[in-house]
Amino acid sequence: MADLIDLHIHSTASDGSCSPSELVRTAKKQGLKALALTDHDTLSGLEEAEENAKEVQIEFIRGCELSAKFLDTDVHILGLYIPKDKGLIRELSQELDIFIERRNARNKKIAEKLQEHGIDVTLNEVEREAGGNVIARPHFAAVLMQKGIVSSAKEAFDKYLGKGCIAYQPRESITPLHAVELLRNAKSVPVLAHPRLIKCSEAECRELIEELIPAGLKGIEAYHSAHSFEDEHKYLQLAQTYSLCVSGGSDFHGKSKPDIKIGTGKGSLRVPACILQGIKNARPPQDQ
């Protein structure tokens, strides 16, 4: 079997249920050649993951996933090969500090909305559930399940936490253009994540890509758990059309998305290791 990789994984540093070290060891156990940790709007899990990757001898790519808005729809931009040099990532780190402040305010508002609708879930309970990790909506879902208010994480999102529901609170987001610029300035490789999930037309998606390329977009995530074989083919061709590198990953989160596994997604995902060279070739020089 061809060597496989997974360049889109989330840990407890954002909204995943496994620690960075657990993810690394799982990836190694499953025979992956390389993995990237790409937590939402944070770099906090990278050191732990990188240290464990050295121990088990698996190639590790430092990454993150920035949340943005385009035409009132969510757009995510992956940053791969985030440098360790604090000087190179100073601007990105400052922006991520602002993200944390916004996320804390959002979590407080979600708790308030639940209380307003008679749902007895407090922010303190959610903080305990998070266990010192970054609080995210899956932690609210876990508390709702523990109290018997819902029977599954899916029900929690469908009834209370998802878009349009009573406790939904939109996150404050930057533009995709700004996200790409932040990652470009940090000397990483900006990649448009899971384009199939962007709720816009194909023409609008192309328009977005054409806007982002001059800002520094370097790749498209063609392989993803939400992409069909036809989607993969379409985005591989799109990458070729715009001379962009190709990336791919499971978008593993753990308990909140139990049907998605590291490396294989929903069972049929295969991200070939051969694409890694194209991403490496897209890395900008690291000198400041």
- Tens of pLDDT, residue by residue over 176-195, are 999 999 999 999 999 999 99
Q: Quick one: pLDDT at residue 287?
A: 61
User: Among 17-21, 170-174, 179-183, 215-219, where is mean pLDDT lowest?
Assistant: 170-174
| Distances from the Cα of 73 to the Cα of 1, 43, 104, 109, 186, angstroms | 38, 24, 22, 21, 25
Are 28 and 241 in contact by the 8 Å Cβ rule? The answer is no
Separation CA 64–CA 183 (nearest Å) = 9
Q: Quick one: pLDDT at residue 15?
A: 87
Q: Quick one: pLDDT at residue 171?
A: 80
Q: Select the more confidently predicted residue: 214 or 2.
A: 214
pTM score, two decimals?
0.89
Neighbours of 283 (CB within 10 A): 15
DSSP 158: I
Separation CA 219–CA 38 (nearest Å) = 15
Q: Render pLDDT for 252-277 as a digit per residue (tens, 0 to 9).
A: 999 888 999 999 999 999 999 999 99
Q: What is the mean pLDDT of the chain?
A: 94
Q: Select the more confidently predicted residue: 257 or 33.
A: 33
Q: Quick one: pLDDT at residue 126?
A: 94
